[in-house]
Amino acid sequence: MRLLAVDYGQKRTGLAICDEGEVVCTPLCVIEGGYGLIEKIAAFAAEYQAEGLVVGLPLNMDGTEGEAAEDVRAFAGELAERLKLKVYFQDERQSSIFAETIMRPAELTRKKKKRRLDAVAAAGILRAFIEHKTKRL
């Protein structure tokens, strides 16, 4: 199934996509700001023919949900309603660390890394979701 991953944030939102076989997860872009965010995500979902959404859920380190998780769940609800796609949640606690580790060897300026970090984190969230789903089967 072709899945679009969303690493939602107040300032920046990263997007990533996987192929139909759920083998390759590719960072797409980072959307700055919140105005028109749902419409922008809808355009990417349509362009890449997404069949579902994986949204990173910011859990507390003890695994509980706080205010940030509530905000993400509310946003995901709006997204699901607008796009008419099923939404899956994936723990995103380690996604930024994953993204920073992946990007460390890249010879990018700090500013360029920051612009791509959320998309790489979205790809990490998507990879973790697929691996977790595969283990359950």
Asked if pLDDT for residue 24 goes beyond 70, the answer is: yes
Average pLDDT over residues 34-57: 95
How many percent of the chain have pLDDT more than 70?
82
Count of Cβ atoms closer than 10 Å to residue 66 Cβ? 11
Mean pLDDT is lowest, of 7-11, 14-18, 108-112, for 108-112
Question: Taking the CA of residue 132 as centre, how many other CA atoms within 13 Å lie in the half-sphere pointing to its CB?
Answer: 12
Residue type, 97: I
What's residue 8's pLDDT? 95
Pairing of strands 52-57, 3-7: parallel
Instruction: Tell which CATH architecture fits domain 3-136.
Output: 2-Layer Sandwich (3.30)
Question: Taking the CA of residue 115 as centre, how many other CA atoms within 13 Å lie in the half-sphere pointing to its CB?
Answer: 5
Length of the chain: 137
Residue boundaries of the structural domains of the chain: 3-136
Residue 113 — very low, low, confident or very high, per pLDDT cuts 50/70/90? low
What's residue 134's pLDDT? 80
What's residue 35's pLDDT? 83
Asked if pLDDT for residue 90 goes beyond 70, the answer is: yes
| Cα angle 68, 69, 75; round to 5 | 90
Residues contacting residue 100 through CB under 8 Å, at least 6 positions apart? 117
Whole-number Å distance between alpha carbons of 126 and 17: 8
What's residue 110's pLDDT? 66
pLDDT tens figures, 49-65:
999 999 999 999 899 99
* Structure tokens given for 64: 């509980």
